[in-house]
Amino acid sequence: MVRLWENEFKVRKTKHVRALDSDIIIIQRDAIPQKNSLVPNRQAKNGLYYIVVDFDALEPGDGKLSNYIRDHQDELKPIVEYTLEEFLDLYIWDAMGTSETLAISYVLEKDPVFSLAKLVALTSLSGGFADCDIIDDIAFVISIEMISPPSIPGRVYTLYSTVDGLDGGKH
């Protein structure tokens, strides 16, 4: 068995979202240090990426999703990329899909006290992710909750539970 991105990236989290009438896999990955080095490469790209998956194309019986992603990794698109020179970590994120929107909310740690929280969305018309809401210098975020009211499928709200209270955003 060959692992995808072995000795290249650490995959921290994955999530399946049904959005824009497609099946989407979101992957958070971090570059790992080179062999013989304990120090991370501060210029290496870390981030969140997404790929649209055609589950009908998986081989019955032997069709592993990881093999599909490996075979189609040129279709992996960035949601957010950062280096360790820009941010310390992307430490929490969530995603929500509707028929009209793929929304991602994430928090990038700027320093031990403050972070940058963003809500970005991809719509069928936009062709790329656009910033919907940005909260700079937010206190440490403990959790993210994303809500899309059934009566308004294109609208997405985000609540950030922080050590300093509650904050939020909307698309």
- For residue 51, what are the domain limits? 9-170
CA–CA separation, 21 and 32 (whole Å): 34
Q: What are phi and psi of 39, to 5 degrees?
A: -95, 130
Within a domain: residue 150?
A: yes
Within a domain: residue 2?
A: no
Within a domain: residue 4?
A: no
Query: 104-161, pLDDT tens digit by residue?
Result: 999 999 888 889 999 999 987 777 898 988 988 888 889 999 998 888 878 899 999 9
Q: Bin 132: left if φ > 0, else alpha if -120 < ψ < 50, else beta.
A: alpha
> Model-level pTM?
0.88
Within a domain: residue 1?
A: no
Per the CB < 8 A criterion, the answer to whether 93 and 116 are in contact is no
* pLDDT band at residue 93 under the 50/70/90 scheme: very high
Pairing, β 22-31 against β 9-19: antiparallel
Within a domain: residue 3?
A: no
Place of tokens 């279709």: 75
Q: Is 165 exposed, middle or buried (0-12, 13-18, 19+ CB in 10 A)?
A: exposed
Within a domain: residue 145?
A: yes
Number of domains in the chain: 1
* pLDDT band at residue 38 under the 50/70/90 scheme: low
Of 162, 52, 156, 149, residue with least CA distance to 109: 162
